[in-house]
Amino acid sequence: MLQMKRTKIIDVLKGELVGQTICVKGWVRTRRGNKAVSFIALNDGSTIHNLQIVADNERFSSELMSTISTGASLCVVGQLVSSQGAGQSVEIQAERIEVLGTADPESYPLQKKGHSLEFLREIAHLRPRTNTFGAIYRIRHQMSIAIHTYFHERGFVYFHAPIITGSDCEGAGQMFQVTTLPLEKPPLCEDGGLDYAQDFFARPTALTVSGQLEGEMAAMALGAIYTFGPTFRAENSNTPRHLAEFWMIEPEVAFIEIEENMDLAEDFIKHCVQWALDYCADDIKFLSEHFDKELIDRLNFVLEKPFKRLTYTECIEILEAAVAKGRKFEFPIYWGADMSSEHERYLVEEHFCTPVIVTDYPKEIKSFYMKLNEDGKTVRGMDVLFPKIGEIIGGSERESDYDKLRQRAEEMGVPDKDIWWYMDSRRYGTAPHAGFGLGFERLLLFVTGMTNIRDVIPFPRTPRNAEF
């Protein structure tokens, strides 16, 4: 029986195989029925939709039927017929059923529908079996393909930046150290500090916070590249938008300045949203019905409107005017302050009612590599702010002048021994260039309508949590 070729449920539901005897395999979602007949909803992950299996109880031993419960895996052979019942167009009249694996109803945790997302996080190893997480992981896959397709079709080279690195790109000191030194009794130097000469790499190393610095080296040779990989931040922020391990997409392009960088960011993100609507319609419809009725409207809305572009200074003026009119914010806002997500969301959701690109931030609150403006106070950074999310993209035109970059690195306390190689790109054939980083899970929050970032990555890593 197992030898018969399996048809995926997504293909079965197209209805073209009616009349044929087919074989399907999957996991039982629900089982109901009466003395004479059982209706089994089978799901194999190929689609959000289940296939109905109709089994005449007298055809099968009661021993077999008693093991068919929610969560069990089955192989079913039977004729595909048009369904008389409501809710499905086709169903299988089971001729043979094999239980591949039982799921004890006493202990299988996904018995009934409607478990809370919090509960499902505690069983992240089983949550792919729910409709919600099946949908999310299929969308996550589709968005990966959308991203690779976008850059590939435009001649960008997919570049693999290292995960273990010796430099702190963002300079925020939020790195996870990588070491093989024995923590209980590490070797020490004469001055009492750790003796890194004895460490695996004979130097301090950490998990990367961003592939940008290495990506720039590639862009300054290949013209246009993008990275797409995991990045790590040991920031102790327990928010619905921060992960300690998240995936980032970082395009980097030679010979462009900030305007073209903004054009790229806007076009890219619209492509991704359009892709979600085109290729994830069933899953998005499900998520919209169950979690967020406005999801599809919001996706279309982002596609229709040009993003509003303005400077940080203009943003502060708007926010200060709002405060003057009585709008309350948790954190104070003034020129020089880093906008927090409540400020960003005010601009996007209340003031402009459209995605926003903010440029020209005070140099003190941005990284050392951003191009300094002529005012000497602001840098050519750009953040893309989205409804419900806040910052979804951070990027900039890069400082391409060796001396200015040297000075910025010194001011920001970035040691030359860590970035001597990065500085070389400004010594040999430097050129204007720019890029940005899109947080993959923030994009997924937007296209799925989920509100907690822990629910759009399979096994979330957050402070005090690395189960599984």
Does position 134 interact with Mg ion (CB under 5 A)? The reply is no
Does position 462 interact with ligand 4AD (CB under 6 A)? The reply is no
Bridge partners of 41, per DSSP, are 30, 52
Does position 460 interact with Mg ion (CB under 5 A)? The reply is no
Residue type, 207: L
Bridge partners of 462, per DSSP, are 465
Beta carbon nearer to ligand 4AD, 172 or 202: 172
Bridge partners of 248, per DSSP, are 229, 439
From CA 232, how far away is CA 461, in angstroms rounded? 9
Which of Mg ion, ligand 4AD, none does 210 bind, CB closer than 5 to 8 A by kind?
ligand 4AD
Of the candidates 78, 355, 439, 449, which one interacts with ligand 4AD according to CB under 6 A? Answer: 439
> Minimal distance in Å, beta carbon 270 to ligand 4AD?
16
From CA 70, how far away is CA 42, in angstroms rounded? 9
Question: Which range touches ligand 4AD (CB under 6 A), out of 89-97, 121-129, 194-202, 243-251?
Answer: 243-251
Q: Tokens 């931030």 map to which residue? A: 361
Does position 394 interact with Mg ion (CB under 5 A)? The reply is yes
Does position 344 interact with ligand 4AD (CB under 6 A)? The reply is no
From CA 132, how far away is CA 134, in angstroms rounded? 6
From CA 166, how far away is CA 204, in angstroms rounded? 7
Number of Cβ within 10 Å of residue 232's Cβ equals 20
Of the candidates 282, 391, 401, 424, which one interacts with ligand 4AD according to CB under 6 A? Answer: 391
Question: Which range touches ligand 4AD (CB under 6 A), out of 83-91, 130-138, 291-299, 434-442?
Answer: 434-442
Identify the CA nearest to 176 among candidates 124, 132, 236, 103: 236
In this structure, what token pair is assigned to residue 65?
Answer: 């039927």
Beta carbon nearer to ligand 4AD, 174 or 198: 174
Question: Which range touches ligand 4AD (CB under 6 A), out of 262-270, 322-330, 385-393, 401-409?
Answer: 385-393
Does position 214 interact with ligand 4AD (CB under 6 A)? The reply is no
Beta carbon nearer to Mg ion, 133 or 247: 247
Of the candidates 169, 206, 295, 356, which one interacts with ligand 4AD according to CB under 6 A? Answer: 169
Query: With CB under 6 A, what is the number of residues at the site for ligand 4AD?
Result: 23
> Minimal distance in Å, beta carbon 436 to ligand 4AD?
5
Does position 242 interact with ligand 4AD (CB under 6 A)? The reply is yes
Beta carbon nearer to Mg ion, 27 or 436: 436
> Minimal distance in Å, beta carbon 330 to ligand 4AD?
20
* Inter-residue contact 181 to 187 (CB < 8 Å): yes
Does position 437 interact with ligand 4AD (CB under 6 A)? The reply is yes
Of the candidates 212, 261, 448, 462, which one interacts with ligand 4AD according to CB under 6 A? Answer: 212
Does position 442 interact with ligand 4AD (CB under 6 A)? The reply is yes
Question: Which range touches Mg ion (CB under 5 A), out of 79-87, 258-266, 295-303, 394-402?
Answer: 394-402
Does position 246 interact with ligand 4AD (CB under 6 A)? The reply is yes
Is 88 exposed, middle or buried, given 0-12, 13-18 or 19+ CB atoms closer than 10 A? Answer: middle
Q: Which residues contact 206 (CB under 8 A, 6 or more apart)?
A: 164, 165, 166, 168, 175, 176, 177, 178
Does position 392 interact with ligand 4AD (CB under 6 A)? The reply is yes
User: Which residues sit at the interface with ligand 4AD, rule CB under 6 A?
Assistant: 169-170, 210, 212, 233, 235, 242-243, 246, 248, 250, 391-396, 435-437, 439, 441-442
Residues that bind Mg ion (CB under 5 A): 394
